[in-house]
Amino acid sequence: MSNNLSYPSIAKEGLPFLGAAFAISILVSFFYFELSWLFWIITIFILQFFRDPPRTIPQDKNAILSGADGKVIAIEKTDDPYYMRKSIKVSVFMNVFNVHSNKAPCQGKIIKKNYYPGKFLNAALSKASLENERCALVIERDDKKIITCVQIAGLIARRILCYKNYNELISAGERYGFIRFGSRVDLYLPVDALIKVELGQKVKNAETIIAHLN
């Protein structure tokens, strides 16, 4: 059984960038046609960066879904610094060619939201989890289990957008934010979670099951 959440094919965050790139490409094509190919390539890049394709959401109440498209770069037991507990951290790195909208890993209530200013280190580095600019949501599921989802800015990413707030409800696979131009998302899971992905695996937001809860 599955459910489809549909959003505009192009994320709203990209419309100003796409509109400007398209207009500039038209002008350059008119006045400097021999250079126009470069501007059209940039326009196409912006178009693909801000794409937000529909996803089929698994309807498994015990599943924790990926919050981002990209590659799994860390699976480790560690402390959850946002809820002060032992946990398993699963990190997904997004390069500039991945979809950059972020989706909720599970259904629940947001019991904490914290934004932290910070550095803009390469998001693939382990220390980026605690040193880079980031925004953390702590979600309490109906079964009282806690999932922490953290958007982390990267070397190129300079803007984290998060549209959910403290005390709000969130649905599994719901689009809740966006990170502009390369970044990562960390999930902190209960220590008894059964991890379903491997290091280096490519995942899709709202569609790939990261873990099952016992």
β-pair partners for 87? 78
Mean pLDDT of 149-172: 87
Write the DSSP symbol of residue 13. G
Model confidence at 2, pLDDT cuts 50, 70, 90, reads: very low
pLDDT at residue 1, as a whole number? 36
148, pLDDT greater than 90: yes
CB 181 within 8 A of CB 156: yes
Task: Report strand pairing: 55-58 vs 169-170.
Answer: unpaired
Alpha-carbon distance 141 to 131, whole Å? 28
SS3 of 32-99: the string is CHHHHHHHHHHHHHHHHHCECCCEEEECCCCEEECCCCEEEEEEEEEEECCCCEEEEEEEEEECCCCC
Catalytic residues: 183
Alpha-carbon distance 92 to 210, whole Å? 10
79, pLDDT greater than 70: yes
pLDDT at residue 54, as a whole number? 82
124, pLDDT greater than 80: no
Alpha-carbon distance 200 to 110, whole Å? 30
pLDDT at residue 207, as a whole number? 94
Residues 6+ positions from 63 with CB-CB distance below 8 Å: 106, 172, 209, 211, 212, 213
Reported as type and span, the H/E element at residue 110 is strand 108-116
**Greatest mean pLDDT range, 12-26, 37-51, 83-97:** 83-97
* Measured CA distances, 192 to 65, 110, 173, 188, 203 (Å): 16, 21, 22, 12, 22
* Other CB atoms within 10 Å distance of the CB of residue 60: 14
Residues 6+ positions from 16 with CB-CB distance below 8 Å: none
Mean pLDDT of 198-208: 96
Q: What is the pLDDT of residues 35-52, one digit of tens each?
A: 888 888 888 877 777 778
